[in-house]
Amino acid sequence: MSLPLGSTAACLVLAFLSSFPVAAAKKPVTPEAAARAHPARGIGRVVWAPDGERFVYRSGGTLFLYVVASGEKRRLLEFAALESDAVDLKPPERAQWKNRRVRERSIQWFPDGERLLLEVGGDLFVLSVTAGERRQLTATPVEEADPKLSPDGRLVSFRRGDELYVLRLSSGKVRRLTRDATATRWNARLDWVYPEELDLGTAHWWSPDSRYIAYLQFDVSREPLYPHADFFKLMPVPEPQRYPKAGTPNASVRLGVVPAKGGRTRWLATARGDSKLFARVDWLPDSTAVAVQELNRVQNRLRLRVLPLRGEPRTLLEETDPYWVNVSDDLRFLSQPRQLLWSSERTGFRHLYLYGLDGELRAALTSGDWEVTGVAGVDAGQGTVYFTATAESPLERHLYAVPLKGGEPRRLTREPGTHSIQMSPGARYYIDAWSSLTEPSRKTLYRASGEQIAVLQPPDRSASEEYEILPAEIVEVIAPDGATLYARLIRPAGFEKGRKYPAVVMVYGGPHAQTVRNAWSGVNLAQALAHAGFVVWQLDNRGSAGRGHNWEAKLYRRFGKQELEDQLTGLDHLIGMGFVDPKRVGIHGWSYGGYMTLYAMLHAPDRFRAGVAGAPVTDWRNYDTIYTERYLGLPSKNPDGYHGSSPVHFASQLQGHLLLIHNIEDDNVLFQNTLQMAKALQEAGKPFEMMIYPQKSHGVTGSAREHLYRTIVDYFGRRLAGP
């Protein structure tokens, strides 16, 4: 039935309908909105109690306690109360270039499960969980860095400056354990490159019996100095950084053990800058020896060595690889029986193995053309290992359980997508943070059996309710050799069939990263570009993570070539879908992605009309030792690989429009890279644009990020404009 327009009945219907509120249209995602977006507040990284029945977490400025059995959530502390008590005289640490990957624990449980050790503002506090009382342990003008409770809960170790100390809880007495630090000799303090490229988060470790502390001593005297400076003072202030470039000396490192009651350090192993790297350090459960994972300099051999406090060292396990050996955090020593859990990529995929402490293989616990991405926990009593893996799809992460005695792994997580797991001590419970392309992250508490206990944090839909988040599609691309490549596609706002749109290829491309997954992205730069009228395309080429070691090894001794081949295959597929104008394609990436942007602009100049290269490596001799040598080898042994991989040598091939972006005090990819590229482009007579940010970090943060995102979107708007 229809009503004539203008009839009384039609007017009544319109009046009736107009009495209801009209739903407000969702906002488009702007560059400013993308820059201001942040993860939903709520339960972040939790700290489980020793009994595994409770955990604490920080939400904003508040510390909360959660009790599993009752579901009780209780506010414990406002951190502002401690911040006001901390001594506000700490000297600036920026000149020391503290690495972003150093993992200092600011919240720790005492073994009794009744108290917490807190580090706030560089000072230490004890908080009673039951009574709520707090006690300040230190109030000094120097930071107590990297604090650690002894396993028996009687002592706290920490670093002041470059020396190691312990504090006795009962008396408050502080004892200094090391006394030989200098400007270039650091006790229990990491240099810049170890945590950045080996992901080693600390430099000292308590023995299980609380009698000894193992620590690393770094001699950085041979590491080159890079001359950063703070240009915001009237007279610029030097802020030099120890930064070992490919082929230059690493720090000389010693591993020692010192008694917690004080005394001489016993040196167990030494690594001179050109010999080996200490990738991981652990104590054996009986405190009789330290286990260290040693890599040779080019990282194609890893040895697990046992260094006794008394007796001769021995090699327990050895891994070799024709390309390189990736280090993991999967090692677990099992007391009963005396075995160890180990992971290896010897088959081309990372899998779990059980060894005896005699070095003999007992069992291969997992196998197949998929990879274990991490050990979540071990229940020694039940004889079960819990791990995350890509067994369902390289686009997803799920939690599995497998018996230590062997058997078929059992999948515990059910929802398709990406699951991130935080398991309790003893592996009785786990918290699952799950998201997918269409579902924002939610956090749920489960029993180890997979039985749900409680939803701790429902999905935050506020962003998708306020903004029009355009759908992302996963696209499979078949390479000429039959390999499957995965890409993520976002069509522009108001997409119309039959139209030809400009496109922006967003790229990372380097090892140890995966950008295309079945996971929630929310409000981000890709959404801002799509709302500005661009097709947004992102593809994981060979060399990326999540597909196994053989997949990433395609980058060995040569960066750029394989990655670009796969990116061009993806671009051909995208253009073949019929809605992209091949003459209006841009490319953008940051860090390795900035490098790939330059490499693509110079080696496929007819395919990309414009590029925005953020913080790019332009000459691989400028990048650090541990990362670069792992993949390219030493510059003296692979000069052609370094030359061919470095965009600075091919500036004359630029045809499209290029924007270079860099922080002037970037401590990771040094600003020197962009400056050298600019010089090469100028000498080649190639026009380009440059945006410099004044921050002291690898990424652009804070309010400057809004400027950055607007700059990127506007640049592509100008350079990819069409009829």
What pLDDT score does 19 carry? 41
Residues above pLDDT 90, as percent of the chain: 89
Closest CA to 37 of 521, 700, 529: 521
Task: Name every residue whose Cβ is closer than 8 Å to that of residue 93 and which is 6 or more positions away in sequence.
Answer: 143
Of 321, 540, 566, 666, which residue is the catalytic one? 666
Q: Is the confidence at residue 39, as pLDDT, over 80?
A: no
Q: Is the confidence at residue 591, as pLDDT, over 70?
A: yes
Residue 283 Ramachandran class (φ > 0 left, ψ -120 to 50 alpha, else beta): beta
For residue 179, give the 3-state DSSP assignment. coil
Residue 190 tokens, joined: 């990491």
Q: Is the peptide bond before 4 cis (omega within 30 degrees of 0)?
A: no
Residue 220 tokens, joined: 């950085």
Taking the CA atoms of the chain, what radius of gyration do you get in angstroms? 28
Q: What is the mean pLDDT of residues 574-582?
A: 98
Measured in Å, how far apart are the chain's first and last C-alpha atoms? 44
For residue 530, give the 3-state DSSP assignment. helix
Backbone φ and ψ of 27, nearest 5°:
-75, 150
Closest CA to 438 of 411, 418, 414: 418
Q: Is the confidence at residue 14, as pLDDT, over 70?
A: no
Q: Who has greater pLDDT, 377 or 10?
A: 377
Of 531, 588, 657, 698, which residue is the catalytic one? 698
Q: What is the mean pLDDT of residues 556-577?
A: 98
The CA distance from 257 to 290, in Å, is 9
What 8-state DSSP symbol labels residue 171?
T
In CATH terms, the superfamily for domain 462-719 is Alpha/Beta hydrolase fold, catalytic domain (3.40.50.1820)
Q: In what order do the strands lie in the sheet with 123-128?
A: 107-109, 115-120, 123-128, 134-136
Closest CA to 181 of 156, 164, 205, 206: 164
Q: In what order do the strands lie in the sheet with 452-457?
A: 418-423, 429-435, 442-447, 452-457
What pLDDT score does 100 carry? 65
What pLDDT score does 78 carry? 94
pLDDT in tens, 666-704: 999 999 999 999 999 999 999 999 999 999 999 999 999
pLDDT in tens, 436-449: 999 999 999 999 99
CB 603 within 8 A of CB 653: yes
pTM to 2 decimal places: 0.94
What pLDDT score does 723 carry? 58
The CA distance from 605 to 528, in Å, is 26
What pLDDT score does 722 carry? 74
Q: Is 707 a catalytic residue?
A: no
What 8-state DSSP symbol labels residue 263?
-
Q: What is the mean pLDDT of residues 10-33?
A: 61
Q: What is the mean pLDDT of residues 245-251?
A: 98
Residue 301 β-bridge partners: 320
For residue 573, give the 3-state DSSP assignment. helix
**Domains in the chain: boundaries:** 462-719
Residue 165 β-bridge partners: 158, 176
Residue 488 β-bridge partners: 474, 538
CA atoms within 13 A on the CB side of 504: 29
CB 620 within 8 A of CB 634: no
pLDDT in tens, 268-290: 999 988 889 999 999 999 999 99
Q: Is 698 a catalytic residue?
A: yes
pLDDT in tens, 55-102: 999 998 999 999 999 999 999 999 998 887 877 656 655 445 566 678
The length of the chain is 723
Q: Is the confidence at residue 2, as pLDDT, over 60?
A: no
Of 207, 591, 645, 646, which residue is the catalytic one? 591
pLDDT in tens, 320-367: 999 999 999 999 999 877 899 999 999 999 999 999 999 999 999 999
Confidence of residue 721 (pLDDT cuts 50, 70, 90): confident
C-alpha separations of 719 from 105, 348, 401, 595, 611 in Å: 47, 43, 52, 20, 9
Task: Name every residue whose Cβ is closer than 8 Å to that of residue 200 and which is 6 or more positions away in sequence.
Answer: 190, 194, 278, 279, 280
Q: Where are the alpha helices (DSSP H) in 100-237?
A: 193-198
Q: Is the dihedral of CA 573, 577, 578, 581 positive or negative?
A: negative
The CA distance from 471 to 527, in Å, is 9
Q: Which helix (H) or strand (E) holds 429?
A: strand 429-435
Q: How does the average pLDDT of the chain come out, rounded?
A: 94
Q: What is the mean pLDDT of residues 579-603?
A: 98
pLDDT in tens, 461-511: 999 999 999 999 999 999 999 999 999 999 999 999 999 999 999 999 999
CB 619 within 8 A of CB 651: no
Q: Is the confidence at residue 216, as pLDDT, over 60?
A: yes
